[in-house]
Amino acid sequence: MKSISNFLACVFLFLSVARASSFKEDNCVVHYGVTAHQGNSGVYPGNTLGAFESALKCKVDWVELDVHRTRDGKIVVIHDAHTGNVGDTNIVVAHSTYDELRAVDVAQAFRDKHNLAVSECPKGTIPLLKEALLLFKKQSCTKVSIQPKVDCVAEVVKLIEETGTAHLIGFNDGNLSYMKKAKQLLPQATIFWDRPSDFSVDDDIKVAIQSGFHALVINDNGITADKAEKIKASGLEVGVWTVNSVPRMQQLLSIGVDRIYTDFPEDLIALHTQSNPIVCEGEYPEHLQGVCSDGNFFYWSWTTFLVKTDLDGKLVNRVKVHSHHGDLCFYDSKLFVAVNLGKFNEASPDEADSWIYVYDAGSLEELERYRLPEVVHGAGAVAHDGDKFMVAGGLPDGYNENSIYEYDHRFRFLVEHNVSSGYTWRGIQTLTYADRCWWAGIYHTSGDTGALLQIDDRMNFITKFDVNASLGIVRNSPQTFLVASNKRLVPNGVFKGQLSLYVPNR
């Protein structure tokens, strides 16, 4: 799914997961409080095996899914009583056989929403609950919460027993009868009782405790700090459904919410696991110019050193390089670094000496170089979107547009884009691609602080964020970034650098 991988900056899909430091259980990472609503449904069509597989890779602690019964008695995974909201054909689940339902492409609505071709988002089919249970059975990190949309609890429990997955099972729904029946038939199951925004906190706490439920999960519009405190004081867990805004997630965590249902579980994982900066091991004589990642390692450009660390910032390798190496990006097992050997930010095209240096990401061995005579004010930033490279650089006084230069994979020049960003001191310093946009780190006019520009994929300036991304920016999860900073140490004058979580307020 090429465009979706671009949406997540190609390779940063699981950065926050790989670095997680949460409670360890059975050699897996458990993020208490992260429930992937219909799987990783912000990235894949919800309630499909692809969405579930992606959520498992994230190592969320729960995946929520919905079930209905077909005309021929099969229990299938789908949210609505019909296929019209997700598929290319609208048929009623209860009136259709499973073979008829399998013919429906349930990825159609997702494809339309994200403007994807079939080649980018292939046909999706409605899975059997048994298929989903067998998928979850292959691992022990993630549990599955089943939401029965019709009275099929007994049939669901029978499938759970047949597949030997009782140790992985929970149920959630607002129907009290269904939840009581689930607890009766499968006593070890965890029960999350879904409540509307106008729920009665005192009454529902009493019912939940009497019924042996684990949690009250409240509609986002109905939760308050007082209600959350009261639920927790009763010994129940408090959850909220369904939350996709990272700032809202932050608010809910701040008032003590235990569990959040979300279409974007990686964002919630990022909030839990990236609270501490990632510090690059070592000290360097020149300041930081850029950072990128392949999902397993970070790569740091320190002007005269190229550095590779693990996801905790521990040094793996470092090599001395020409001054000065600027921003960098990862693509196809290689690092591409914007290098300027001449003067930077000059108006004369004869002053700059712009290059792309290419390194093997494994060994940091230099592989090749490409000269970029088009980048007349000096190459400073480079990024890749899965199809092409973009290079940006200096901006002399008197210029009110930044130039971004487009290249193919062999750095054959294609076109110069002029971005109506207004004057930015020394142009664009860092660049990355995510969410079908280019994100450019800049200095402010004064030169002492920085900002982040958002530019759409047609090179139209969208907005500016007040965060200093001029030293490096890495896509971390669907709605979060890691931004780089460095500090000069006295009295020796060397630099140390780090990455910190940033959530754009969009």
Strands (E), 289-349: 290-293, 297-301, 303-310, 315-331, 334-340
Asked if residue 129 belongs to a domain, the reply is: no
Within 13 Å, how many C-alpha atoms sit on residue 4's CB side? 23
Q: Which residues lie closer than 8 Å to 345 by C-beta, 6 or more apart?
A: 377, 378, 394, 395, 396, 426, 427
Q: Clarify whether residues 192 and 257 are in a common domain.
A: yes
DSSP for 162-191, written as a single string: HHT-GGGEEEEES-HHHHHHHHHHSTTSEE
- Residue range 191-207, pLDDT digits in tens: 999 999 999 999 999 99
Tokens 């009250």 locate to 216
pLDDT of residue 138: 96
Tokens 């209905």 locate to 68
CATH of the domain at 326: 2.120.10.30
Q: Clarify whether residues 229 and 344 are in a common domain.
A: no
User: Taking a C-beta distance cutoff of 8 angstroms, is the pair 282, 318 a contact?
Assistant: yes
Asked if residue 131 belongs to a domain, the reply is: no
CATH of the domain at 248: 3.20.20.190
pLDDT of residue 237: 96
Asked if residue 257 belongs to a domain, the reply is: yes
Domain boundary among 273, 303, 332: 273
The torsion angles phi and psi of 203, rounded to 5 degrees, stand at -65, -45
The torsion angles phi and psi of 109, rounded to 5 degrees, stand at -65, -40
Domain range for residue 214?
Answer: 20-65+140-273
Going by the DSSP 8-state scheme, the letter that residue 93 receives in this structure is G
How far is 345 from 352, CA to CA, in rounded Å?
8
Tokens 């209860």 locate to 94
pLDDT of residue 317: 98
Within 13 Å, how many C-alpha atoms sit on residue 342's CB side? 21
DSSP for 121-169, written as a single string: S----PPBHHHHHHHHHT-SS-EEEEEESSS-HHHHHHHHHHHT-GGGE
Q: Clarify whether residues 349 and 252 are in a common domain.
A: no
Q: Clarify whether residues 256 and 332 are in a common domain.
A: no
Asked if residue 40 belongs to a domain, the reply is: yes
Q: Clarify whether residues 335 and 422 are in a common domain.
A: yes
Q: Clarify whether residues 353 and 382 are in a common domain.
A: yes
pLDDT of residue 9: 34
Q: Clarify whether residues 161 and 38 are in a common domain.
A: yes
The count of other CB atoms within 10 Å of the CB of residue 462 is 13
pLDDT of residue 7: 38
Per the structure block, which two tokens stand in for 496? Answer: 């140390």
How far is 83 from 89, CA to CA, in rounded Å?
7
Q: Clarify whether residues 421 and 469 are in a common domain.
A: yes
Going by the DSSP 8-state scheme, the letter that residue 280 receives in this structure is P
Asked if residue 85 belongs to a domain, the reply is: no
Asked if residue 101 belongs to a domain, the reply is: no
Q: How far is CA 69 from the centre of its chain?
A: 33
Strands (E), 375-419: 379-384, 389-393, 402-407, 413-419
Per the structure block, which two tokens stand in for 181? Answer: 């029946």
Asked if residue 118 belongs to a domain, the reply is: no
How far is 118 from 163, CA to CA, in rounded Å?
33
Tokens 């093997």 locate to 360
pLDDT of residue 1: 46
How far is 360 from 356, CA to CA, in rounded Å?
13
Q: Clarify whether residues 353 and 487 are in a common domain.
A: yes
Domain boundary among 273, 295, 321: 273
pLDDT of residue 336: 98
Q: Clarify whether residues 155 and 205 are in a common domain.
A: yes
How far is 131 from 122, CA to CA, in rounded Å?
19
pLDDT of residue 22: 38
Tell me how many domains the chain contains.
2
How far is 452 from 30, CA to CA, in rounded Å?
33
Reported pTM: 0.77
- Residue range 363-409, pLDDT digits in tens: 999 999 999 999 999 999 999 999 999 999 999 888 999 999 999 99
The torsion angles phi and psi of 43, rounded to 5 degrees, stand at -115, -30
pLDDT in single tens digits along all 506 residues of the chain: 444 443 333 333 434 444 443 344 444 556 679 999 999 999 999 999 999 999 999 989 999 999 999 999 999 999 999 999 999 999 999 999 999 999 999 999 999 999 999 999 999 999 999 999 999 999 988 999 999 999 999 999 999 999 999 999 999 999 999 999 999 999 999 999 999 999 999 999 999 999 999 999 999 999 999 999 999 999 999 999 999 999 999 999 999 999 999 999 999 988 887 667 999 999 999 999 999 999 899 999 999 999 999 999 999 999 999 999 999 999 999 999 999 998 888 878 788 999 999 999 999 999 999 999 999 999 999 999 999 999 999 998 889 999 999 999 999 999 999 999 998 988 999 999 998 899 999 987 555 578 999 999 999 999 999 999 999 999 988 888 999 999 999 888 999 999 999 988 75
- Strands 402-407 vs 413-419: parallel, antiparallel or unpaired: antiparallel
Tokens 């950065």 locate to 15
pLDDT of residue 29: 56
- Residue range 303-330, pLDDT digits in tens: 999 999 999 999 999 999 999 999 999 9
pLDDT of residue 414: 97
Q: Clarify whether residues 481 and 436 are in a common domain.
A: yes
Per the structure block, which two tokens stand in for 272? Answer: 């839990």
Q: Clarify whether residues 305 and 251 are in a common domain.
A: no
Domain boundary among 273, 304, 323: 273
Q: Which residues of 101-128 are buried (b: 16+ CB within 10 A; e: fewer)?
A: bebbbbbbbbbeebebeeeebeebbbbb
Asked if residue 98 belongs to a domain, the reply is: no
